[in-house]
Structure 1
Amino acid sequence: MSRVVVLVVVVVVVIVVVVTVVLVVVVLVVVEVVVVVTVVLVVVVVLVVVVVVVVVVVVVVVVVVLVVVIVGGDGVVVVAVVVVVVVIVVVVVVVVVVVVVVVVVVVVVVVVVVVVVDVVYQ
């Protein structure tokens, strides 16, 4: 009788340990995948934004220079206008990048928490 009880206790302990290890591994894999996806998303968003900024700055500078050349004006005014426009565009883009990165990170954290809770409580 005591052997049966010991055997049952051993089997239950082994099952609990195996299930716990499997759950931990699953959670770690899911978290790792989500983190990798997040990093890739953030890098892609930042690269796209940088390309857009460069294009916008080039277009704005060309347009301002063309307008000043066509209308006529002082070279100092052209430089001042170009600098102001470039600074405004860069500030707006930096704000957009920060907002996008924060949103992506928050979404990923929420997804990780939901997945972990779901896996643990299944």
Structure 2
Amino acid sequence: MRIFFLDKFIIKVGLPVGFFSFSRGIFGEVVVVVEVVLVEVVVVLVVVVVVVVVVVVVEVVVVVVVVVVVVVVVVVVVVVVEVVEVVEVEVVEVIVVVVAVTVAAAAEAAAVVVVVVVGGVVVVVVVVVVVVVVVVVVVVVVVVAVVVVVVEVVVVVVVVVVVVVVVVVVVAVVAVVVAVVVVEVVVVVVVVVVVVVVVVVVVVVVVVVVVVEEVVIEVVEVVLAVVVVVLVAVS
């Protein structure tokens, strides 16, 4: 699902979490877009299947804290994006889009899976780290404001890191099941927070585009390739 439709694409790099595109806006400004495929449904289905298998087959009580805010934020982002696509992109609109999607990404990426024993029964609890969400939002807002106001570059960033979350959740669940059933131990699995990495990458990409524009696009490709390797490694 493509959220933004630009007239001219300078580069398009395929990534597990989406792909980056660079283009010129109506007034000649550089536009950086991170386009993603919304796979929220896949995430929900995977979680449901895992919960059913764990509860029915392994006979383990599973407590899952579902973040409804993520779904709401995604809907809001889509609405805001449609408005931004029609209306002239302004600083406030860009910040709204960035903040909304960053909250969604942080809410999904910053999760902790904790396995505890209550009365002899293993309980798996998924907790969302709200503090990370707030910190990331503040950082992104400041970066976007500085880039848009000082550098005079329109930056539209849409980042939803769901692929890494799915991989981490599946690996964590398998590890928990194996540890509980085979090894019979209590396991604590902490999901790596990848939002900080994403923010750093966005800043690097923006700087590269602003400085070299269309000349050294290969640098951006290398950066994105490194990011993919890092995300796969930490997952």
Which TM-score bucket, shorter chain as reference?
A: 0.3 to 0.5
Larger Rg: 1
Relative contact order (C-alpha < 8 Å, sep 6+): which is higher? 1
Q: TM-score, normalised by structure 2?
A: 0.22
Structure with more strand by fraction: 2
Which is helix-richer, 1 or 2? 1
TM-score (norm 1): 0.40
